[in-house]
């Protein structure tokens, strides 16, 4: 179970700096942000430059996570990757396309 406090800690320590390094901004959304807790953490990765490095970002996350799937085509204008933290919590990462 994710709490908002856990999500903010992960955002500050990993998601924000790694995303920025690879040309993205990370944004939390979904039940954890809205309600304070949830079964999975929802994250948007939004491109902030013309050539964001999705592969580099996924590889960087893999160094800190138990597992991160390759992004696959999702609905609308998004690609989706699913991650599992070292302690078994799930993260749904949506990469918006330019």
Q: What pLDDT does residue 75 have? A: 78
The domain of 82 spans 2-96
Query: E strands within the chain?
Result: 2-3, 24-29, 37-38, 40-47, 67-68, 72-73, 78-84, 90-96
Count up the domains in the chain and report the number.
Answer: 1
Q: What is the CATH number of the domain that holds 66?
A: 3.30.460.10
Tokens for 86?
A: 């070292």
Q: What pLDDT does residue 88 have? A: 97
Is this structure's pTM higher than 0.85?
yes
Q: What distances in angstroms separate CA 6 from CA 21, 60, 72, one per listed residue? A: 22, 20, 26
pLDDT in tens for each of the 98 residues of the chain? 999 999 999 999 999 999 999 999 999 999 999 999 999 999 999 999 999 999 999 999 999 999 999 999 987 889 999 999 999 999 999 999 87
């Amino acid at each position: 179970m994710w709490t908002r406090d856990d999500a903010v800690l992960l955002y500050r320590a990993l998601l924000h700096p790694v995303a920025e390094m690879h040309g993205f901004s990370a944004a939390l959304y979904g039940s954890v942000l809205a309600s304070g807790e949830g079964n999975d953490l929802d994250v948007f990765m939004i491109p902030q430059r013309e050539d964001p490095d999705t592969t580099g970002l996924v590889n960087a996350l893999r160094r800190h996570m138990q597992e991160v799937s390759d992004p696959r085509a999702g609905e609308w204008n998004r690609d989706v990757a699913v991650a599992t933290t070292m302690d078994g919590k799930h993260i749904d990462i949506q990469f918006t396309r330019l």
